[in-house]
Amino acid sequence: MEFDNNTLKGLLAKLEWQLNMGVEAMIEEKNNNYFYQEKTKIINEDNTKKLETSQKSSFSKFDTETIEKKSDHREMLKNCFTLDDLKTYMLNFNGCDLKKTATQLVFSDGNPKSQVMIIGEAPGAEEDRRGIPFCGASGQLLDKMLNSISLDRNKVYITNVIPWRPPGNRTPNENEISLMKPFLMRHIEIVSPKLLVAVGGSSAKAILNIDGGILRHRGVWKEIKLRDGLEIPIIATLHPAYLLRAPNQKKLAWEDLKLIRSKLEEFNGQ
Ligand code: URA
């Protein structure tokens, strides 16, 4: 297709206007994201290789085709026994549209052997670019919050309810959350932490099935029961992105952090 100079200038002006308005992704009804398709091909080729070589894993018998055909992935998830199994399964899972506009899967960060598992909402722009949860501005505040109770990324394990960035950082909707919840629950079962911290309203709602805002539910220990019967204490706290917008609420977050510190002291007999 050829354009004359005036048409080209007009198109460039429109594009510039859209960029200035914050447009980050073009979403059409039909999936026409060639960049994504190319990337998926590379990821799938890479994973096929990994699946071929990792005969040790019980999960290795499943390939992308099997995962896509299988509608009941809850059952399939039972066959993920390790974090590698789960990550490979998620890399091959194409049932969530958020994957189409995201750059990559943001799986986890931190130490999977730690006692504390932190669960955020969904990756933002920086997390999407780097593939690491909480590595942007709110992550820096989260690190400071952890440091204030002598924790850091070697002493906690971090993931999100949603592993792909929602376009424009919108809040994930209920369908997306319920679709990805079984993955999160399997993630928790595999890590099997001593305690969980739900960071922000979406995370608290997803895990605890609660109504109402985070301010009503934060700062109280509850328990979730996993499929194997294991009960894990969980506390909800304010999201660092919210605290960056409302710094006067930091005192509430500090109350929650102190509760986490006390619980850890209880576990460790201090
Ligand atoms: N906010 C989240 O909830 N998770 C991230 O990983 C980054 C920002």
Sign of dihedral through CA atoms 68, 73, 78, 82?
A: positive
Residue 164 Cβ < 6 Å to ligand 1: no
| Single pTM value for the model | 0.78
Question: Looking at residue 134, what is its pLDDT?
Answer: 98
pLDDT over threshold 90, residue 203: yes
- pLDDT (tens digit per residue) in 5-56: 777 777 777 777 666 555 655 554 444 444 444 444 444 454 444 444 333 4
Cβ(235)–Cβ(197) below 8 Å: yes
Residue 117 Cβ < 6 Å to ligand 1: no
pLDDT over threshold 60, residue 151: yes
Q: Provide CATH code, domain 72-267.
A: 3.40.470.10
Question: Looking at residue 244, what is its pLDDT?
Answer: 98
Q: How far is the CA of 38 from the centre of ligand 1 (A)?
A: 26
Chain-wide mean pLDDT for the chain?
A: 85
All structural domains of the chain with their residue ranges: 72-267
Rounded to an integer, the average pLDDT of 91-117 is 97
Residue 256 Cβ < 6 Å to ligand 1: no
Question: Looking at residue 66, what is its pLDDT?
Answer: 55
Kind and range of the H or E element at 236? Answer: strand 231-237
Residue 83: Cβ-neighbour burial (10 angstroms; 0-12, 13-18, 19+): middle
